[in-house]
Amino acid sequence: MARLPLLFVGALLAGVVMYGCGKSSAPPATGASTDSADLVMTDLRKQRWARTCALCHVAGQGGAPVVGDPAWSARLAQGEDVVLEHTILGINNMPPLGYCMDCERDDLRAYIRFMAGTSGTGS
């Protein structure tokens, strides 16, 4: 029998535990904001993005739209809240939260805007 990658098994077990405890894997809604100033790509956000989102969104792994791809316009036409929900829950080949387990909603919004080319890149 083939061995499952440890990361996959860990993620599966975490999902079962979270489901069994009745907890959501969604980032907390507290402090959520849509103010552009709060959604700047800070150094911390850039580091998180580089170790999570970038794994797929730089080269288009698994069909992920790459940074600056015109496909983002069609996604954002659904509404930023829909794209955020897809990010939190996962969609197609994208896992929930895009593996950014320490990201909050504003972080994810900043990443979406960055990849779509609709935000600043501050420091």
More confident residue, 119 or 102: 102
The pLDDT-based confidence of 1 (bands split at 50, 70, 90) is: very low
Identify whether 123 is part of a domain.
no
pLDDT at 114: 95
Indicate whether 1 belongs to any domain. no
Q: Could you tell me if residue 18 is inside a domain?
A: yes
DSSP bridge pairs for 94: 91
User: What residue numbers bound the domain in which 103 lies?
Assistant: 6-116
> Distance (Å, rounded) from C-alpha 7 to C-alpha 19?
18
pLDDT in tens, 29-84: 444 455 666 899 999 999 999 999 999 999 999 999 999 999 999 999 999 999 99
Residue 4 has pLDDT above 80, yes or no: no
- Predicted pLDDT of residue 6: 47
Q: What are the distances in angstroms from CA 74 to CA 16, 22, 27, 78, 84?
A: 33, 34, 25, 7, 14
122 domain residue, yes or no: no
Q: Is residue 24 part of a domain?
A: yes
Look at residue 22 and tell me whether its pLDDT is greater than 50: no
How many domains does the chain divide into? 1
Residue 29, domain CATH: 1.10.760.10
Alpha-carbon distance 46 to 123, whole Å? 9
Region at 69 (left for phi over 0; alpha for psi -120 to 50; beta for the rest): beta
In a domain, 73, yes or no: yes
